Homo-oligomer: A and B are copies of this chain.
Amino acid sequence: MENTLNKSLQVITTVELLKHWQDHRALTRRTIDAFPEKAFFNHTIGGMRPFSEMVMELLAIAAPGLKEIASGITAPFNENIEHGNQKAKILELWDNATEEINTYWSQIKEEQFQQTIKLFGQYEGTVWSSIFYFIDNEIHHRGQGYVYLRSLGIEPPAFYERN
């Protein structure tokens, strides 16, 4: 998307927000990769979901949510994409989403960020707050993944390293 606004008058530009998100997604990818294959699908604490299920939620939100923002077409929320309990398959879905996010982002107009949308037919808010929710929710669950890794005796990737 062409940035037509004066950057010095923006808190954050659309280009910066996309990079911020993709840098977080690169860190989440490294977090997924740090899990042993079995633990990714089985390890839990306190009755919570295994990290793989949290990641499937993130995948159900990110590219589909952004597609809806870009196209205006509502689709139902779907966390149940087939992955056959294979981490490599989920990493492939992750990489596909990375490309889709870049594509849909380029179709969103700058003036849309302050407009209201009802995502997946049920979550109403501004476009910016929806995208912030996508990012915040990813950070939240990745932080939980860090505890899972630590409880397995594995050091998670550095939080401050993003790309």
Which A residues are within 8 Å of any B CB, using their own CB?
A: 5, 7-14, 16-17, 20, 24, 45-48, 110-111, 113-114, 128-129, 132-133, 136-137, 139-144, 146-153, 159-160
Contact = CB atoms under 8 A, between A and B. Distances in A.
A20 B143 CA distance: 19
B150 A143 contact: no
Contacts of A149: 46
Given A139-B140, A150-B48, A5 B14 contact: no
B20 A132 contact: yes
B150 A16 contact: no
Nearest to A143: B143
Q: Which 8 A-B pairs have CB atoms at the shortest separation, nearest pair first?
A: A143-B143, A46-B150, A46-B151, A140-B143, A147-B147, A139-B139, A11-B113, A12-B128
A86 B163 CA distance: 39
Chain A's interface: helix, strand, loop or mixed, by majority? helix
A110 B140 contact: no
A141 B129 CA distance: 21
B12 A11 contact: yes
A147 B113 CA distance: 33
B14 A46 contact: no
Contacts of A159: 137, 140
